[in-house]
Structure 1
Amino acid sequence: MPRYRYTATNAAGRTVRGTAEAPSLEALYLRLRDTKDEYVTAAKEDTAGAATFRAMKTAQLADFCRNLGTLLSAGVPLVRAFRIMADEIGLDARSKALYEAVLDELKRGVPLSDAMSHCAPAFPELLLAMTRSAETTGSIDQSFLRMASYYEREHKMNQQVGNSMMYPLILAVLTVGVVIVLMTFVIPQFKDLFDQMETLPPLTELLFHISDTVAHHWFGLALAVFAVVMGIRLLMALPAVRLQWDRLCLHAPVVGKLNRKICTARFARTLSNLYSGGVPIVATLISARDAVGNSWIAGQFDAVLREVRAGRSLSETLGSVDGFEKKMASSIAVGEETGKLDSLLATVSETLDCEAESATKRLVTLLEPLMIVVMAVIVGCIIVAVIQPIYLSYGSIAGSTSTF
């Protein structure tokens, strides 16, 4: 999808600049008008930024925001701060080039948000929106420190989920490896012995059939597995399939509750940061929607935005979204009554983060013994399939000896 650099006028009459993806210029005009209440005055396709820079990871974003926020809060000028960051010892070449590009834009008098958007897609829209809001309020240092905490918590959550799934994944790979070794090298050693027998148990015959297939058609099986994986990836790229998959992830037994907590915590955390940073509520909801990472939840936000624009309370509209924990809507309702919405959103996101961490640990606690049992059953079936005909042959020899 093409990326455009645009200049627009917002509802307050101010000139704003930025970048956005859209199928065409007409679609860009409609999108900015409907979602941000901005009217494009000039736009052109941006072909430089996307080819040069890559999207920064959450850990990199956390370091960038922390370093820049600390330097600015210490009174270092913006241009000097980027010069210090670009000259940091041990900085990788890609990050150095990114900081140099932003620095060049700043030296030409371009606002920080525009300089960062020119390096798209290095910086996410969430950070760009927060930077634009901070430029109008003069609190860039505090905004970046706040976003540093946001990305640090996001990185911590991603690491917890990844680390928790590491042990079950190792067990799964070990199980597959053991089965391949047994089928390819161990089972064929018994083939000459079992070929001398007149009949074999069904389990043993099935085992040898699988072993022959793996030994003689392993390349075809590998291609089949590769084709299945690529087919699944292509299916998941289809919007309709992705939508139903994301819906299933939110309502599946055991893991559904965990996914709902993670999505709700991510949304509440984003909403809290942007709302407390002074970003308008409609733009805040759009950025928070995009940060959830679930198409089923994001697809319901067209109705949410319409109801918010119509004057309906935020707690009522978000309470109707399928996939969010009801705790968030209740907390927002209290925040609307007391006027402390930002602090309550921060509290509920921290609470849901803790609950998601606990739910992840419980899930792994269930998965570990389950994977061990599955591995034991598979290996046990292979051992039984090998020992059973030998045991039966000994029994028949003993029976024939006793007749004499």
Structure 2
Amino acid sequence: MNEYFYEAYDKNGRKVSNIISAQSLEEAKSLLKNQEFVVVKIEPIKKNFSFKLFEGKITEQELYNFFKELSIMTKSGVKIEKALTVIERSLDNVKLKKIVNEIVKDIKSGVTLPSAFEKHSIFDSLIVAVIKTGDSTGTLSESFSNIAEYLKFKIQFKQEIKSALVYPIFLIFASFLTIFAMFKFIIPKFFSIFSANYEELPLISKILLNISNFFTLNPYFIGTFIMLIVGVNILIRTGKLKVLLDYSVNVPLLRNVVINLELSRFSYSMYSMLSSGIDFLKSLELSTNVVQNKKIKRSLESVIPDIRSGKTITESFRKIEYFPSFMLSLINVGEESGNLKDIFYELYTIFEERFKTFVKRTLTILEPAVITLTGIIVGFIVISLILTVMSMSNVKL
């Protein structure tokens, strides 16, 4: 099968652009004609760099918009097939448009809705499970709404972290740039005046000059720095850096923040799953996959067989060392009252608040610490320059 990109007008006179699969260009034109499209442009898509670049990436925001629109339309009584077709026409992302188009085709050919979604990797097992539950219980609009809320939670969570880190990162970068500029350009020009009298310079001035020479005489410094950044980026993309981050839960200063972050994700996922009507054991299996830290994830996975064998939820959870005592108490209350859904939402709010509080406190300390450190370094430079001038001018303190 070949892929063809086309631009055409539908029977309502609306211009649409999409991708169609066909054996040949003639077959593609024939298929579009049968769908009552007036083709303006059609061309084969090269399955190489241009195709990858053209498709782009599907963001969580686009998925959120997609499921939010599905929720609104199905709640209004629009059939799922019609809702998907309407949404497809309004999509800007070509890759997502193609996927939705394939889902519609699968549904028309008799494939179940969950199976049609499951074929595409952009919909993870959690999303597929919620759709399966909604499809079997006839509550698809609620399921789509729960998925949208879960995606919204993930988007907001990431945005809050990024927003909190913007100023500190800018501050650190600006401080580094200032210090680098002084060592690279200002100090060499200043000490060039006294280069002939190096042995007579004060010790602090010699130290400063040697540091400056490292920046000035080492042409590979910037290259090494860039390679270091690229190397860290590669480690992040390949997932190898996560191996180190998994042990962060054992570091005293990081333990609480990692636990609060992971349990916040876990609790909200459990709340979303239970709200969608998924049974507890399945919810636990799906929510465990949301956890990023492997040590915490393995602890959660270890209790699944216990619950499956008939042990109570509270009894099984007691073996998880990362669960604080108040969490076990609340889960016990929820288990006895049959209201675990609301309990997990309360746990989510608690852990989220704890995580945000830690981040705020850390940033409150970090900002003045960076400014103070920069001030000390700049002060050291200024004192060194003053001592150099006094020493070379035979001025006694």
TM-score by length of 1: 0.77
Unaligned runs of 5+ in 2: 1-51
Residue number in structure 1 paired with 2:19? none
Give a deviation string over 1:307-337, Cα, whole Å, max 9, x none: 1122222223334323344433222111001
Alpha-carbon distance change, 192 to 54 in structure 1, aligned in 2, over 3 angstroms = closer
Residue number in structure 1 paired with 2:123? 123
Q: Is the 8 A contact 2:58 2:93 kept in 1?
A: no
Q: Which amino acid aligns with 2:212?
A: S
CA RMSD of aligned residues (A): 2.7
Q: Percent identity?
A: 21
Give a deviation string over 1:39-92, Cα, whole Å, max 9, x none: xxxxxxxxxxxx89887433233222211111111101101111111112x623
Partner of 2:310, secondary structure, is coil
Structure 1 range deviating more: 122-131 or 224-233: 224-233
Distance 1:282 1:382 in 2: 62
Residue number in structure 2 paired with 1:105? 106
Distance 1:387 1:202 in 2: 13
Q: Is the 8 A contact 2:107 2:113 kept in 1?
A: yes
Residue number in structure 2 paired with 1:87? 89
Give a deviation string over 1:6-29, Cα, whole Å, max 9, x none: xxxxxxxxxxxxxxxxxxxxxxxx
Q: Is the 8 A contact 1:143 1:277 kept in 2?
A: yes
Q: State which of 64, 67, 71 in structure 1 corresponds to 2:66.
A: 64
Q: Is the 8 A contact 1:250 1:323 kept in 2?
A: no
Task: Give the C-alpha shift of residue 186 in structure 1.
Answer: 0.7
Q: Is the 8 A contact 2:74 2:80 kept in 1?
A: yes
Q: Is the 8 A contact 1:66 1:145 kept in 2?
A: yes
Residue number in structure 2 paired with 1:269? 268
Distance 1:155 1:176 in 2: 31
1:201 aligns with 2:202: yes
Residue number in structure 1 paired with 2:164? 164
Task: Give the C-alpha shift of residue 240 in structure 1.
Answer: 8.9
Q: Is the 8 A contact 2:201 2:391 kept in 1?
A: no
Distance 2:334 2:380 in 1: 59
Task: Give the C-alpha shift of residue 364 in structure 1.
Answer: 1.6
Write out aligned runs for 1:115-264 (5 A). 115-120=116-121, 122-197=122-197, 198-218=199-219, 220-229=220-229, 232=232, 242-243=242-243, 245-249=245-249, 251-253=251-253, 255-264=254-263
Task: Give the C-alpha shift of residue 224 in structure 1.
Answer: 2.7
Structure 1 range deviating more: 257-266 or 199-208: 199-208
1:330 aligns with 2:329: yes
Residue number in structure 1 paired with 2:311? 312
Residue number in structure 2 paired with 1:284? 283
Partner of 1:222, secondary structure, is helix
Write out aligned runs for 1:32-47 (5 A). none
Distance 1:381 1:209 in 2: 14
Distance 1:261 1:333 in 2: 20
Residue number in structure 2 paired with 1:42? none
Q: Which amino acid aligns with 1:386?
A: L
Residue number in structure 2 paired with 1:73? 75
Task: Give the C-alpha shift of residue 191 in structure 1.
Answer: 2.3
Task: Give the C-alpha shift of residue 294 in structure 1.
Answer: 1.4
Unaligned runs of 5+ in 1: 1-50, 400-404
Structure 1 range deviating more: 167-176 or 295-304: 295-304
The alignment covers a number of residue pairs equal to 344
TM-score by length of 2: 0.78
Distance 1:397 1:278 in 2: 83
Structure 1 range deviating more: 323-332 or 336-345: 323-332
Alpha-carbon distance change, 161 to 250 in structure 1, aligned in 2, over 3 angstroms = farther
Structure 1 range deviating more: 55-64 or 135-144: 55-64
Task: Give the C-alpha shift of residue 142 in structure 1.
Answer: 0.4
Residue number in structure 1 paired with 2:42? none
Residue number in structure 2 paired with 1:16? none
Structure 1 range deviating more: 158-167 or 273-282: 273-282
